[in-house]
């Protein structure tokens, strides 16, 4: 039995009802198996220690530099973003009070959608409360029973769940392999009518940090009359000459990709997600997307803060330039240490260690040196590929990178 459960049971003030005890017994067997496999997850209490330096955190009482946040541009504590949030909270309150289609859709939400659409170069955009809900909502509105959904084998869990949700024929193709995808697609003339084929892919893969071959995927989709959807959670704001994500990075236009989705809690530093596309797409989602219709809208203050973050993304390109300089420095130093990294030009730089115990030990050793780096284990990543998922932020210094590299140089001697 995991220690936390054992302590809780000892301190229980009264005997649980028999039905609750029966459920606990049933669940504890699963928890014990997770712990035995070195896959038990424990939350740490992490607090920002310096608003001017969001990479400085306090972790369970220990001061650390963290290298595992998705706040790639350091916007979560940006002065103008915080000011916009506070001003809107003082004007509108701290909650939206209802779903968008009741009374929850306010002027900040509407302005944010218009500004996101303008930034992405699409007719419309629609804001969702979370990225997970956005992916599920897109699929629930568009994919029909009998359709085919084809997904990259390393897609994010939310895309996988979206593809499985509607009774479609679900298949996964080899990672970042357009040729493998094409082999699974039959010509349109051979398809039952009105069956559609959908291709869902991450733009930047969250655990490997590589970019999907979007040009090749677009070619396959066009050839076979399939609809391509991109989840650009880790590309939006970060890659591309102007921060327009994996589309810009790969040389595609929004007209070539009918469904573009991205989250706002990573490079934008705030919360929520959006989908950008045609007028018809957005109106269809408003009418049919269950995770949009039946949930509370994000607070107006969050929408206002996101508008401020979007302005920073457009007016402070030095943030991306600095971020990519930090990444380049780390990759050069890692090569000099003989560390094997994935082919990633993004802030996500995974260091594969093998099994779960090795990844956990390495993470703990780094924490002892004041460096917070997450150990990622199955089922988040495939068996045998447990890793340190190292991520970088504009808020890091070159000295932070040197300190990380120095600590990594000792890991082989420690496990």
Q: Which residues are catalytic?
A: 206, 234, 266
- CA angle, 237 as apex, 101 and 105 as ends, to 5°? 10
Beta strands in 245-392 (DSSP E): 259-263, 273-277, 348-354, 371-372, 374-376, 386-391
Q: Quick one: how far is CA 65 from the chain centroid? A: 21
DSSP 123: S
The answer to whether 405 touches 337, Cβ cutoff 8 Å, is yes
Distance of CA 372 to the CA centre of its chain: 19
Handedness of CA 86, 269, 274, 97 (dihedral sign): negative
Separation CA 74–CA 408 (nearest Å): 24
Cα distance between residue 108 and residue 395, in whole Å:
28
Count of C-beta atoms within a 10 Å radius of residue 87: 14
Residue identified by tokens 């939400």 is 109
350 closest CA partner among 378, 374, 382: 374
Cα–Cα distances in angstroms (integers) from residue 235 to residues 167, 219, 258, 267, 350, in the given order = 29, 21, 17, 8, 16
Count the alpha carbons within 13 Å of 148 in the hemisphere toward its beta carbon.
Answer: 22
Is 173 within 8 Å of 315 (Cβ atoms)? Answer: no
- Strand ranges (E), 161-291: 169-173, 197-202, 227-231, 259-263, 273-277
- In sequence order, the β-bridge partners of residue 151 are 172, 200
């Amino acid at each position: 039995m995991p220690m936390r459960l054992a302590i809780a049971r000892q301190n229980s003030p009264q005997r649980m009802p028999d039905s609750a005890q029966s459920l606990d017994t049933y669940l504890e067997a699963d928890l014990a198996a997770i712990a035995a496999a070195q896959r038990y997850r424990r939350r740490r209490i992490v607090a920002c220690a310096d608003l001017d330096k969001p990479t400085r955190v306090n972790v369970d009482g220990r001061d650390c530099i963290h290298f595992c946040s998705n706040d790639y541009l350091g916007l979560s504590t940006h002065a103008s973003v915080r000011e916009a949030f506070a001003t809107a909270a003082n004007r509108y309150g701290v909650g939206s009070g209802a779903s968008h289609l009741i009374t929850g859709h306010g002027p900040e939400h509407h302005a944010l959608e218009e500004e996101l659409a303008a930034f992405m170069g699409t007719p419309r955009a629609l804001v969702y409360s979370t990225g997970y809900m956005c992916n599920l909502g897109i699929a629930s509105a568009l994919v029909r029973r009998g359709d085919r959904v084809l997904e990259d084998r390393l897609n994010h869990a939310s895309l996988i769940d979206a593809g499985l949700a509607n009774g479609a024929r679900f298949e996964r193709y080899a990672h970042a392999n357009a040729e493998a995808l094409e082999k699974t697609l039959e010509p349109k003339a051979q398809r039952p009518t009105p069956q559609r084929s959908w291709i869902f892919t991450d733009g930047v893969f969250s655990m490997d940090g590589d970019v999907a071959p979007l040009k090749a995927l677009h070619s396959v989709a066009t050839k076979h009359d399939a609809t391509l959807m991109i989840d650009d959670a880790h590309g939006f704001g970060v890659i591309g000459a102007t921060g327009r994500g994996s589309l810009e990075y790969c040389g595609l236009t929004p007209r070539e990709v009918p469904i573009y989705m991205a989250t706002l809690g990573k490079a934008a530093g705030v919360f929520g997600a959006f989908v950008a596309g045609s007028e018809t797409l957005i109106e269809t989602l408003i009418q049919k997307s269950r995770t949009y219709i039946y949930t509370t809208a994000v607070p107006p203050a969050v929408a206002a803060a996101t508008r401020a973050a979007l302005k920073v993304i457009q007016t402070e390109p030095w943030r991306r330039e600095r971020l990519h300089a930090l990444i380049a420095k780390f990759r050069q130093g890692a090569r000099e240490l003989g560390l094997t990294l994935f082919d990633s030009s993004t802030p996500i730089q995974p260091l594969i260690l093998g099994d779960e115990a090795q990844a956990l030990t390495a993470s703990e050793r780094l924490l002892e040196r004041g460096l917070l780096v997450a150990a990622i284990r199955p089922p988040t990543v495939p068996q045998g590929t447990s890793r340190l998922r190292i991520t970088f932020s504009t808020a890091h210094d070159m000295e932070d990178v040197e300190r990380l590299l120095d600590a990594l140089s000792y890991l082989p001697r420690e496990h």
